[in-house]
């Protein structure tokens, strides 16, 4: 409900006459607000052209609040006012941050906010200095801050109409923005563990942190390999570029496949096979407790581990010399099944109602669900969603909200609480 209310307030503010230029329908305002709050980056209006400076501030504020979580932000403000929080407030904060326990949660929250400020400021300084070479200092400072916040929160909103396509071969942009995206997508718990491990105050990284780091690294490198192999000789995309620019573009695209919507390439020029592989990466998204959406890297890792040990006929799945709970693996299976169901149903509905290119519609659907923001485009500077009817846009809004809240949590809200029972039936044998 907090996300829904925030989206409603954001849409109302974007519809104010001094927040936008030209006409802005209610559906387009809701779409933009949802894309910002859910840190997606899909656009049906050209951000630098169709919104004023006040509108840009609103969008950036929605990105920041949506990225850290509304409940997290509210709790932090309550702590700053020295307000006493109830046990229920602590439970909500625990779920919002994906924190493993109740002990030390307030200290962890303060560290999270300090980390956000430090990382975004450092990113803003680097980007501002780079933009200063092309524009006045004041404008460069604002552009640097906007893109740093957008990148760290995995939002993908840009103040350039062509996003990052004008910086395709720029080393500073192609390193800074992907690093901000990766850091934001790892999760605050992982960042804290890495910091403590480097300071020698932690002797061993947790299984969660190791799993996140390994899975994220494999997905990024795997994405690069797939993009390079499928697009290397494609005359519409990578064909005319030299080897270094191809590697740089593949790196940038692979990082953004995962969680953010920045693009240095026109994805409408990519092969359908590459776009299809991209949908898989986008559905996975980032890691728990971070600014990214999707089913999360740990869900993918747990499901693969579960399948591997099942094929080997072993009942004790483990990784890094640590056993894994069967419930967690079953939950990972459930999340993948439910996510696949939502994505497939939404894609079929959009395909039948909009009558557009199937693979591009699937790509847009997965981008919305994974709160990624990449798009094959509408033929101009807007996302493919700009070609959809109002009903199609509402479908995408629904997917973005679901992807940000979490597919499991969203479904549990619909299904309701589990009913505890003491009854256990006799085992029934089923042939598989």
Cα–Cα distance list, 397 to 10, 43, 362 (Å): 14, 11, 15
Q: 0.85 exceeded by the pTM?
A: yes
Mean pLDDT calculated for residue range 347-370: 90
What integer pLDDT is reported at residue 60 of this predicted model?
92
CB atoms near residue 134 (< 10 Å): 11
pLDDT at 349: 92
Give yes or no for a contact between 399 and 392, defined as CB atoms under 8 angstroms apart. no
Please say if the pLDDT value at position 124 is more than 90: yes
pLDDT score for 229: 92
- Higher pLDDT pick, 414 / 66: 66
Which of 81-95, 144-158, 237-251 has the weakest average pLDDT? 81-95
Secondary element (H or E) of residue 256: helix 243-258
Instruction: Label residue 295 by pLDDT band (50, 70, 90).
Output: confident
Cα(56)–Cα(339) distance, integer angstroms:
32
| Confidence class for position 290, pLDDT limits 50, 70, 90 | confident
The answer to whether 293 and 38 are in contact (CB under 8 A) is yes
Model confidence pLDDT, tens digit, residues 237-287: 888 888 999 999 999 999 988 778 888 888 889 999 999 998 999 998 888
pLDDT digits (tens, 9 = 90+) for 31-47: 999 999 888 888 899 99
The pLDDT of residue 104 is above 90: no
Residue 169 CA, chain-centre distance (Å), reads 24
Indicate whether 70 pLDDT > 60.
no
* Residue (of 408, 410, 397, 411) closest to 7 by Cα position: 397
Is residue 190 classed exposed, middle or buried when 0-12, 13-18 and 19+ CB atoms within 10 A define those classes? buried
**Each residue of 215-229: pLDDT tens digit?**
999 999 999 999 999
Mean local confidence (pLDDT), 154-170: 88
Question: Residue 322: which H helix or E strand, with range?
Answer: strand 322-323
Burial class (CB in 10 A: 0-12, 13-18, 19+), 274: buried
Does residue 293 register a pLDDT over 90?
no
Which of the two residues, 147 and 115, has the higher pLDDT score?
147
Please state the rounded mean pLDDT for residues 63-67: 85
Q: What average pLDDT does the structure give for the chain?
A: 86
Give CA–CA dist 32/7, Å, rounded. 9
Q: Measured between alpha carbons, how far apart are the two ends of the chain, in Å?
A: 41
Tokens of 100: 């493993």
Quick one: average pLDDT of 362-388? 89
């Amino acid at each position: 409900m907090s996300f829904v209310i925030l989206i409603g307030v954001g849409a109302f503010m974007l519809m104010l006459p001094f927040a936008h230029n030209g006409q802005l329908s209610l559906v387009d305002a809701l779409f933009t607000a949802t894309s910002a709050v859910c840190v997606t980056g899909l656009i049906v209006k050209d951000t630098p052209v169709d919104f004023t400076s006040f509108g840009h501030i609103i969008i950036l504020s929605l990105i920041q609040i949506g990225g850290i979580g509304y409940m997290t932000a509210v709790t932090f403000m309550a702590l700053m006012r020295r307000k006493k929080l109830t046990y229920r407030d602590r439970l909500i904060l625990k779920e919002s941050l994906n924190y493993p326990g109740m002990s030390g949660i307030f200290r962890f929250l303060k560290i999270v906010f300090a980390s956000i400020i430090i990382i975004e400021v450092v990113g803003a300084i680097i980007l501002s200095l780079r933009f200063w070479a092309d524009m006045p200092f004041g404008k460069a400072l604002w552009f640097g801050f906007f893109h740093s916040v957008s990148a760290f929160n995995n939002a993908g909103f840009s103040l350039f109409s062509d996003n990052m396509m004008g910086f395709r071969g720029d080393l500073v942009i192609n390193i800074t923005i992907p690093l901000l995206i990766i850091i934001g997508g790892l999760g605050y718990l992982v960042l804290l563990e890495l910091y403590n491990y480097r300071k020698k105050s932690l002797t061993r990284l947790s299984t969660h942190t190791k799993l996140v780091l390994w899975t994220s690294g494999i997905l990024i490198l795997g994405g690069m390999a797939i993009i390079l192999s499928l697009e290397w000789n494609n005359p519409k995309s990578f064909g005319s570029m030299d080897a270094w620019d191809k590697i740089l573009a593949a790196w940038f695209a692979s990082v953004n496949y995962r969680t953010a919507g920045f693009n240095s390439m026109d994805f409408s020029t990519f092969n359908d096979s590459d776009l299809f592989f991209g949908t898989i990466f986008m559905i996975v998204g980032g890691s728990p407790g971070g600014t990214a959406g999707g089913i999360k890297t740990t869900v993918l890792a747990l499901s693969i581990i579960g399948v591997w040990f099942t094929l080997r006929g072993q009942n004790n799945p483990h990784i890094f010399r640590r056993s894994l709970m069967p419930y967690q693996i079953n939950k990972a299976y459930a999340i993948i099944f439910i996510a696949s169901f939502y994505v497939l149903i939404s894609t079929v509905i959009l395909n039948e109602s909009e009558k557009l290119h199937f693979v591009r519609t699937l790509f847009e659907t997965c981008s919305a669900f994974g709160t990624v923001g990449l798009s094959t485009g509408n033929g101009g500077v807007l996302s493919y969603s700009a070609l959809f009817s109002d009903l199609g846009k509402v479908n995408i809004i629904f997917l973005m909200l679901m992807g940000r809240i979490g597919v499991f949590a969203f479904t549990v809200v619909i299904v309701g609480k589990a009913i505890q029972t003491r009854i256990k039936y006799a085992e029934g044998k089923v042939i598989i």
